[in-house]
């Protein structure tokens, strides 16, 4: 029997010692020396060691040393060789690198981790799924999640769909142009896992029309498909409007810390636009900007509108947000995701101007976004107060690229999508 002293020494291994042990097991796996069990996965053969596998998994332990122990080569029919190899490698080394794997591969590895009760691998796969979910893979991930019926995975995927997709106009646009067909059973499961059915109305509406095309039915036969779902599609517009209102009420405001005043930014024929970049460490839904309004001019002529007081002016500017598209890990072209116009808005001089748009845009943690403010010629001569401000607030990075010193952008209005 192992002594208490020896047990304590084993459990106080430092990191280099553990790494060395991992390296030894890796060499044992690769060399196939002393292997005593064989797995057949497709056309691939894996020679392993019963004791190592049994120590990691109670399923393997029962497979090799239980009353119904396997004696011959074990055939694995529900995993592909690449994923099974990654699972076995984790068992031997406790190392996991899923950065370059597709979400489909991660989902299959998660299935294997659940099958063999590898708890640490389950956690690693679920964390990787959270990081990899996007507009273009959420529906395939949902379909597969419900197919293998694993609750933790279903919870993560439905949470992402609800908070990052259903309330966002970008996802609606993406779905119209890049639709992925899911089964009616999957749609029913999504509905059953979503307490707020109103946010699902437009999604189900879109699915129904594609289902008609998929089944070769006419669009006026859509009700035949939706009767089984028990949703009233006539409430589509009302439900969507309520979603937009709710998003605005739940919005957060973040402002950069003020450090020092700088020379004002003056609008003229050479400087009539402001550019900055944004990065977020999480998924957020961007609802608006907070910028500084104009400095009150020292002398003022006759107002162009009798309703505008001497303390106010009419703000006119255009806001454009572009997502920087990465190609082969390098920044490539930019894609416009928002255009918003502030048209003759009554604004007080030298105060905060809160700009909110109707259609929120989702910022992804793996992308950089450029914000561009432009003014027309009627703004020439106007000055906006500039100041040095913090570059990061609450995980959101600001980088002003128009001027070297100072900024007119104070902060953002946004909604956290994943918590």
- How far is Cα of residue 359 from the mean position of the Cα atoms in its chain? 18
CA dist., res. 143 & res. 189, Å (int): 10
CB 115: neighbour CB atoms within 10 A?
A: 16
| 6 vs 262 pLDDT, higher one | 262
**Lowest pLDDT segment from 49-53, 240-244, 327-331, 366-370:** 327-331
CA 95, 101, 102, 104 dihedral sign is negative
| 189, pLDDT greater than 90 | no
Please name every residue paired with 280 in a beta bridge, in sequence order, or none if there are none: 396
Q: What is the pLDDT of residues 118-133, one digit of tens each?
A: 999 999 999 999 889 9
**For 318-341, b where at least 16 C-beta lie within 10 A, e where not — what string?**
ebbbbbeeeeeeeeeebeebbebe
Q: What is the pLDDT of residues 313-346, one digit of tens each?
A: 999 999 999 987 654 444 457 888 889 999 989 8
CA dist., res. 345 & res. 316, Å (int): 7
CATH number of 18-132: 3.30.710.10
Quote the pLDDT of residue 201. 72
Quote the pLDDT of residue 2. 40
What's the distance, Cα to Cα, between the start and end of the chain in Å?
47
Coil, helix or strand at residue 365: coil
Under the banding of pLDDT at 50, 70 and 90, the label for residue 302 is: very low
- DSSP letter for each residue of 393-417: ETTEEEEE-S-SS-BSEEEEEEEE-
| Residue 142 vs residues 121, 209, 233, 418: alpha-carbon distances, Å | 20, 19, 22, 17
CA dist., res. 390 & res. 396, Å (int): 11
> Are residues 48 and 39 in contact, defined by beta-carbon separation less than 8 angstroms?
yes
- How far is Cα of residue 317 from the mean position of the Cα atoms in its chain? 30
| 209 vs 53 pLDDT, higher one | 53
Under the banding of pLDDT at 50, 70 and 90, the label for residue 148 is: confident
| Domain covering 253-295+314-416: architecture | Sandwich (2.60)
Q: What is the mean pLDDT of the chain?
A: 82
- DSSP letter for each residue of 88-144: HHHHHH-----TTS-HHHHHHHHHHHHHTT-HHHHHHHHHHHHHH--TTTHHHHHHH
Quote the pLDDT of residue 235. 56
- Please tell me the total number of residues recorded for the chain in this structure: 419
Q: Report the share of the chain in percent with pLDDT over 90.
A: 42
Mutual orientation of helices 184-192 and 138-148 as an angle, nearest 10°?
90
CA atoms within 13 A on the CB side of 374: 12
C-alpha angle 275/278/281, rounded to 5°?
175
| 43, pLDDT greater than 70 | yes
Q: Report the share of the chain in percent with pLDDT over 70.
A: 79
| 244, pLDDT greater than 60 | no
**Phi, psi (rounded to 5 degrees) for 291:** -125, 165
Quote the pLDDT of residue 215. 78
Averaged pLDDT for residues 88-116: 92
The alpha-carbon radius of gyration of the chain (Å, integer) is 29
Q: Where are the domains of the chain?
A: 18-132, 151-249, 253-295+314-416
Q: What is the model's pTM?
A: 0.58
């Amino acid at each position: 029997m192992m002594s208490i002293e020896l047990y304590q020494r084993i459990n106080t291994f430092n990191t280099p010692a553990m790494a060395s042990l991992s390296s030894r097991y890796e060499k044992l796996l690769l060399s196939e020396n002393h292997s005593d069990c064989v797995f057949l996965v497709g056309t691939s053969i894996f020679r392993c060691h019963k004791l190592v596998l049994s120590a990691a998994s109670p399923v393997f332990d029962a497979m090799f040393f239980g009353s119904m122990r396997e004696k011959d080569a074990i055939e694995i029919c529900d995993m592909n060789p690449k994923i099974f190899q990654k699972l076995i490698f984790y068992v031997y080394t406790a190392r996991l690198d899923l950065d370059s794997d597709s979400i489909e591969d991660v989902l299959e590895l998660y299935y294997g981790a659940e099958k063999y009760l590898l708890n640490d691998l389950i956690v690693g796969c679920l964390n990787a799924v959270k990081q990899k979910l996007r507009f273009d893979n959420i529906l395939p991930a949902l379909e597969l999640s419900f197919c293998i019926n694993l609750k933790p995975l279903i919870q993560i995927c439905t949470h992402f769909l609800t908070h990052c997709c259903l309330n966002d106009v970008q996802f609606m646009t993406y779905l119209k142009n890049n639709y992925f067909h899911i089964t009616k059973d999957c749609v029913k499961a999504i509905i059953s896992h979503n307490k707020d059915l109103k946010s699902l109305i437009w999604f189900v509406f879109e699915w129904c029309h594609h289902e008609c095309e998929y089944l070769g039915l006419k669009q006026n036969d859509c009700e035949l498909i939706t009767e089984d779902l028990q949703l009233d599609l006539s409430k589509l517009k009302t439900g969507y409007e309520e979603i937009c209102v709710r998003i605005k009420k739940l919005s957060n405001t973040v402002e950069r810390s003020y450090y020092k005043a700088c020379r004002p930014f003056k609008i003229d024929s050479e400087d009539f636009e402001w550019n900055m970049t944004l990065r977020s460490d999480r998924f957020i839904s961007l609802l608006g900007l907070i910028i500084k309004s104009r400095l009150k001019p020292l002398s003022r002529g006759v107002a162009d509108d009798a309703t505008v007081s001497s303390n106010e002016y009419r703000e006119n500017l255009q806001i454009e947000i572009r997502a920087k598209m990465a190609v082969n890990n390098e920044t490539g072209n930019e894609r416009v995701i928002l255009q918003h116009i502030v048209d003759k808005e009554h604004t007080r001089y030298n105060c905060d101007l809160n700009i909110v748009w109707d259609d929120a845009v989702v910022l992804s943690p793996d992308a950089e976004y450029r914000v561009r403010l432009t003014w027309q010629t009627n703004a020439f001569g106007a000055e906006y107060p500039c100041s040095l401000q913090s570059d990061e607030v609450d995980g959101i990075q600001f980088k002003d690229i128009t001027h070297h010193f100072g900024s007119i952008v104070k902060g953002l209005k946004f909604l956290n999508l994943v918590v």
